[in-house]
Every structure is written in structure tokens, then in C-alpha cells.
Structure 1
């Protein structure tokens, strides 16, 4: 099970959260208004997840895609990127 933390608290405790993930082997889910926003996992966990996806092929991605699409749009509100100092954003394959 992952440790959940609100985004406001995660911002203040980022260094500690990184240590918990890297050295404690924990997975951290950052929430906003009680809903999952992002997950922090170790690089080793990410590599394992990517390998599993590569081995299973496209069919393994479909349940993830459908569950993410049920969450709805998470686009930033105007000015939010500037307000929180966000320097990058994820763009889907259609905008690359």
C-alpha cells in the first residue's frame, strides 16, 4: 500500500518524501482534494514497471489508460503553472 499525502504537505516535505521512496522503499501518492494526482516511485520500481509493460505489450496498457481516462481531465488552470513554479508538463504522444 502507498503512503498518501496532500500536495500542499508534499511540497513542504519533498526531500523527506524522496528519501522515503529511495531508501525506505515506499511508494507515495500525492493527492489534491483527496484524489490521487501523482505517484512517487523509485527509479528501480519505474524500470520494473516499464519492463513489465514492454513484455506484456500494448494490451497491458489498456487497463491503465481506461482507469486514467475515468479520472477526467487534469489540465492546469490558467496561471497555476506560474503560481506553483511548474517548469514542465506532460504532453501526450499527439503533441510531440
Structure 2
């Protein structure tokens, strides 16, 4: 659980908050009007968050790439049937 503090109080206690994060291992959420605004986390926590985000991004790109190759290899009729689409739009010059 993170320690929450209003932004006005955080301004006055910034040095103490930094020490709590770095040496106490705490996470601090700075709020404005009771809503989370920013979070203070240690550099080690940030590295872990970014590393997990990169892995997630790579997985999404991989998934989208495989979907793209699968859809390009299947026919339009097959895709319409797969998704239950009964009609398709044709341009004015298409018969």
C-alpha cells in the first residue's frame, strides 16, 4: 500500500518523502483534491516497472504481428463468416 499525501503538503515535505522512498522502500502517491496525481517510487522500482512494460509491449507487438499475418492469409469471405458478417460494403464501381 502506498502512502498518500496532498500536493500542498508534499511540497513542504519533499526531502522527507524522498528519504521515505529511497531508504524506507515506501511508495508515495501525491494527491490533488483526493485524486492521485503522481507517484514517487525508487529508481529500482522504476527500472522494474519499465522492464515489465517493455516485455508487455513486445508481447503485444508479437500478438498483433501474428494476427496481421493470419488475417492477410485468409480470404475476405472466411473473415466475414468467422465474425458472422452477412454483408459487405462495395464501392460504386464494384460489381
Structure 1 unmatched ranges of 5 or more: 61-96
1:57 Cα deviation (Å)?
A: 1.1
- TM normalised by structure 1 equals 0.59
Q: Which residue of 2 aligns with 1:57?
A: 57
Q: Which residue of 1 aligns with 2:6?
A: 6
> How do residues 1-40 of structure 1 correspond to structure 2 at under 5 angstroms?
1-40=1-40
Partners of 2:59 and 2:9 in 1: CA distance: 36
Count of aligned pairs between the two proteins: 60
- TM normalised by structure 2 equals 0.60
Partners of 1:44 and 1:19 in 2: CA distance: 14
Runs ≥4 in structure 1, deviation > 4 angstroms?
Answer: none
The CA deviation string for residues 30-57 of structure 1, in whole angstroms up to 9 with x for no partner, is: 0000000000000000000000011111
Q: Identify the structure with the greater helix proportion.
A: 2
User: Aligned Cα RMSD in Å?
Assistant: 1.5
Seen in structure 2, the aligned counterparts of structure 1 residues 57 and 21 have a Cα distance that, compared at 3 Å, is same
